[in-house]
Amino acid sequence: MVDDPRRRPVRAVRLRSVGDAELDLQYRVVHGYRRAFRMAGEGPPLVLIHGIGDSSATWAELIPDLARTHTVIAPDLLGHGDSDKPRADYSVAAYANGVRDLLTTLGIESATLVGHSLGGGVAMQFAYQFPERTERLILVSAGGVGREVNPVLRLVSLPGAHLMLSSLRLPGMRLQVGLAVHLMKLLDTDLGQDAPDLLNLVDALPDETSRNAFIRTLRAVVDWRGQVVTMLDRCYLTEGMPTMLLWGDRDSVVPVRHAFGAHEAMPGSRLEIFEGAGHFPFHTDPTRFVSLVEEFTASTAPADWSRDHWRQLLRDGGPGASRTRGVDRDLREASERSAT
């Protein structure tokens, strides 16, 4: 753990029980498309953004605890879960806009964002596009801070992925894949730590519409060489925004070294490593995860955004401003384009 100099004394909080009905999916129509979400609790808003192929259900076991002290909003991103799956823009910038619009319909002006995997990239993009509405960032095994990604995701980004995903629904294939997952766990491989959760994502793609949305989302952020979007070039803009990074040291999807790179690029950020955990540390150790989120939100003040501060950060250009063309070799190799 790295200490955060902006941490404040823990404030007193009022615990509140959460009813089962609050955990049910709710729906809002935004721009003509149905958006599903879960909303529970009272207190400072906390937005939980899931990863690719996943849904708000991934947070279901954590929501009751988090909702004792927060108003928790967990959306199903467009193309995921019970939200509509149109032929649409599935870029991280579009997702950030969608989160903003959903929060606006719910009367929430600002919030702490918790993003996992793709959702971490969406949370970072939200903070970049709407800093005045972002109180804190909690990034969990986040995408968008390096090129490396699991080879399986690179493979699925290639032409023909529809056929490959469809074949997994054939009779007998689920059993064979399940046996392979069991073997990887017995061999104690890093992929074995994540394989059951990743297999659940495949099960969440029951029809062609779901698979099409998944592939369109994946191709917006991954190609055959790896991740193709980055926030590293703008991480300096998180200066003054409380930021915590949570990562499993056996993450087979987004390597833990990305956590250290992001931590270095984000001034004043805090890093917590979950030993023995893979890409879903909040599933591996939910008690520690909830404790860290509650402690972090209680002991830090929301970001105090100002237009003058933002202007000065942009003018200064961050730590790489003095280097040739403003971007060093490592940053160029991390990605060839940015999520602007």
* Catalytic residue ranges: 117, 251, 279
First-last CA distance in the chain: 31
CA distance linking residue 259 with residue 126, whole number of Å: 19
What H or E segment, with its residue span, contains residue 265?
helix 257-265
Identify the three-state secondary structure at position 252.
coil
Count of CB atoms situated within 10 Å of the CB of 166? 14
CA distance linking residue 264 with residue 269, whole number of Å: 8
Question: By the 8 A CB rule, do 46 and 72 touch?
Answer: yes
Q: How far is CA 74 from the centre of its chain?
A: 12
Residues 327, 338, 160: CA angle, nearest 5 degrees? 130
What H or E segment, with its residue span, contains residue 246?
strand 243-248
Instruction: Report DSSP state, residue 7.
Output: B
| Phi, psi values for residue 96, rounded to 5° | -60, -40
Residues 31, 113, 326: CA angle, nearest 5 degrees? 95
Tokens for 74, please give them.
Answer: 């967990």
CA distance linking residue 328 with residue 325, whole number of Å: 8
- Sign for the pseudo-dihedral over CA of 194, 61, 211, 246: negative
Tokens for 20, please give them.
Answer: 């089962």
Give the amino acid at 153. L
The burial class, CB within 10 Å (0-12 / 13-18 / 19+), for 28 is: middle
What H or E segment, with its residue span, contains residue 45?
strand 45-49
Count of CB atoms situated within 10 Å of the CB of 272? 18
